[in-house]
């Protein structure tokens, strides 16, 4: 067996890294402000990655690089969805970024580097690779947010993101070092079996766990570690906000699964309580603060906090159904927020940001189809049937009920009801208010097709959620090898 064929499961990562290097060099030799060649190369790379990931899929769990890298069904599914999210994000944001002079070769390269970071996180089975993937993702994102240097607010957002991200990494590393001290290993599976066989120092273990959970909470942006989320979402250019708010959430979900479920499953009694507090606080603060916002990006930021709280409810149920529904929730959240931010990008034009609630007034009179798509997306975020957002919330709550977290479920439903107010307010603004401007909305054909697919997808997935739900359930079940 040749050396290259032993790397079979990591072909997608290797291909991506080679292609980023090619793109970085090719970009120097392609003239033109629109960067069409580079853009197409990036899309081809994403397509190639998807094909490779599908072609190299094998049943079962495959470890590589001395147990540092894992390839299982969950990682393949999450990677495919990440490629899709990045590809959609580029289609939506291309004309927005071109109008602002931000669509550079470096931007595209950094986006692909952040994708590589996500893939490393998704496929990590060692604390070192988990951490390196996280840093690869975060460093690329800090730079991407800071790319708009003329804007003071974007620079401030990048600084806040960077400093709080560094703090979170510090907490996470501190926690990991404690776990290493207690178990003597950094391998995810070895940590789990070491704890099961009994470690001499339980206090050190729990102490490390607290720091790991705090670090994870920072990265997910849940209360009380959420301070950076509204400022970064608001301050960054909308396309960058879309990048931060979509695909990385899938990687963050994988991170939580690898570290809390795969490595620290024996400590579930400890972490499920911590997650419950984080979840309730996030759903409360996220949904209530979102009501007071007049800026749509800021409102989405608070809504993200609430959604991440909901996702944690699924994880803390601690059953296969819970993990499967949390994965389903993460996927659905990514699809919904791609549509939501995509709508802001479509309505914006050169020198104008459509990121205020008032910009959506009377959208029905200006473009009934766009208004209908926005209505579907808002219904889905609020959890109104028959959209997919309803089913995602239902699946999470169902798993939590089965695990016996009845008070948590009641609180979650209450806060979702509060949250429905600000989503439905946008629907009211679009259909029942008079428009403030009658400016024509110029749309590129590719992004207008995509927003239609996105909006209808939310509806169709809501009517027929079975396939996606079973994909999530099966991949979690096959990847974690938990007792049923």
Q: Under the rule (CB under 8 A), what is the footprint of another protein?
A: 17, 24, 64-66, 68-69, 104, 106-107, 109-110, 113, 116, 120, 126, 128-129, 132-133, 135-136, 139-140, 142-143, 146-147, 149, 180-185, 194, 199-201, 203-204, 206-207
Nearer to another protein, 75 or 447 (CB): 75
Tell me the C-alpha to C-alpha distance, in Å, between residue 36 and each of 40, 351, 478: 6, 22, 41
d(C-alpha 199, C-alpha 148), whole Å: 50
Of 112, 40, 27, 483, give the one whose Cα is nearest residue 266. Answer: 483
Least CB distance to another protein at residue 128 (A): 5
Least CB distance to another protein at residue 59 (A): 23
Least CB distance to another protein at residue 164 (A): 16
Q: Does 386 sit behind a cis peptide bond, omega within 30 degrees of 0 on the bond before it?
A: yes
CA dihedral 446, 449, 452, 453 (to 10 degrees): -90
Nearer to another protein, 183 or 282 (CB): 183
> What are the backbone angles phi and psi of residue 68, rounded to the nearest 5°?
-95, -20
Nearer to another protein, 126 or 380 (CB): 126
Nearer to another protein, 143 or 424 (CB): 143
Of 267, 65, 264, give the one whose Cα is nearest residue 176. Answer: 264
Least CB distance to another protein at residue 32 (A): 16
d(C-alpha 354, C-alpha 367), whole Å: 15
Nearer to another protein, 112 or 311 (CB): 112
3-state secondary structure of 57: coil
Least CB distance to another protein at residue 462 (A): 38
- Which residues on adjacent β-strands are paired with residue 126? 187
Least CB distance to another protein at residue 65 (A): 4
Least CB distance to another protein at residue 37 (A): 18
Least CB distance to another protein at residue 448 (A): 30
Nearer to another protein, 10 or 344 (CB): 10
Least CB distance to another protein at residue 28 (A): 12
Taking the mean position of all CA atoms in its chain, how far away is CA 191? 26
> What are the backbone angles phi and psi of residue 434, rounded to the nearest 5°?
-85, 140
Concatenated DSSP letters of 351-379: TB---BGGGGTTHHHH-HHHHHHHHHHHH
Nearer to another protein, 1 or 28 (CB): 28
Concatenated DSSP letters of 256-308: HIIIIIIITGGGHHHHHHHHHHHHHHHHHHHHHHHHT--BHHHHHHHHHHHHH
Angle between helices 152-183 and 127-146 (to 10 degrees): 170
d(C-alpha 250, C-alpha 256), whole Å: 10
Nearer to another protein, 211 or 323 (CB): 211
d(C-alpha 26, C-alpha 23), whole Å: 5
Nearer to another protein, 126 or 364 (CB): 126
């Amino acid at each position: 067996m040749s050396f290259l064929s032993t790397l079979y499961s990591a072909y997608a990562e290797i291909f991506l890294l080679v292609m980023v290097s090619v793109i970085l060099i090719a970009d120097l030799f392609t003239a033109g402000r629109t960067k069409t060649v580079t853009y197409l190369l990036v899309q081809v790379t994403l397509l190639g990655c998807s094909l490779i990931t599908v072609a190299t899929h094998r049943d079962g769990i495959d470890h590589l690089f001395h147990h540092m890298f894992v390839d299982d069904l969950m990682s393949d599914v999450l990677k495919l969805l990440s490629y899709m999210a990045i590809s959609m994000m580029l289609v939506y944001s291309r004309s927005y970024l071109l109008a602002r002079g931000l669509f550079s070769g470096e931007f595209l390269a950094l986006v692909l580097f952040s994708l590589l970071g996500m893939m490393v996180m998704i496929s990590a089975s060692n604390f070192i690779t988990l951490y390196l993937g996280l840093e690869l993702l975060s460093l690329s994102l800090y730079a991407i947010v800071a790319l708009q240097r003329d804007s003071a607010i974007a620079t401030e957002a990048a600084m806040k993101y960077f400093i709080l991200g560094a703090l979170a990494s510090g907490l996470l590393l501190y926690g990991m070092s404690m776990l290493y001290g207690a178990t003597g290993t950094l391998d995810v599976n070895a940590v789990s079996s070491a704890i099961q066989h009994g470690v001499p120092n339980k206090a050190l273990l729990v102490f490390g766990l607290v720091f790991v959970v705090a670090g994870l909470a920072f990265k997910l942006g849940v209360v009380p570690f959420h301070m950076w989320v509204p400022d970064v979402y608001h301050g960054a250019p909308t396309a960058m906000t879309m990048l931060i708010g979509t695909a990385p959430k899938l990687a963050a979900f994988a991170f939580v699964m690898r570290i809390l479920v795969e490595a620290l499953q024996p400590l579930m009694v400890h972490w499920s309580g911590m997650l419950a507090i984080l979840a309730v606080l996030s759903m409360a603060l996220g949904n209530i603060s979102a009501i007071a916002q007049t800026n749509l990006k800021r409102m989405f930021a608070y809504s993200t906090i609430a959604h991440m709280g909901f996702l944690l409810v699924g994880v803390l149920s601690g059953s296969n159904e819970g993990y499967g529904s949390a994965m389903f929730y993460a996927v659905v959240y990514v699809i919904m927020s791609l549509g939501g931010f995509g709508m802001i990008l479509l309505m914006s034009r050169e020198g104008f940001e459509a990121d205020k609630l008032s910009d959506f007034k009377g959208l029905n009179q200006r473009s009934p189809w766009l208004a209908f798509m926005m209505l579907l997306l808002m219904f889905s975020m609020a959890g109104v049937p028959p959209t997919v957002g309803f089913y995602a919330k239902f699946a999470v709550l169902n798993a939590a009920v089965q695990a016996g977290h009845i008070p948590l479920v009641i609180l979650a439903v209450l806060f979702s009801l509060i949250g429905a107010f600000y989503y439905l307010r946008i629907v009211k603004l679009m259909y029942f208010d008079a428009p403030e401007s009658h400016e024509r909305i110029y749309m590129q054909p590719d992004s207008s097709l995509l927003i239609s697919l996105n909006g209808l997808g939310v509806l169709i997935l809501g009517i027929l959620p079975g396939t996606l739900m079973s994909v999530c359930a099966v991949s979690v079940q096959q990847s974690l090898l938990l007792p049923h």
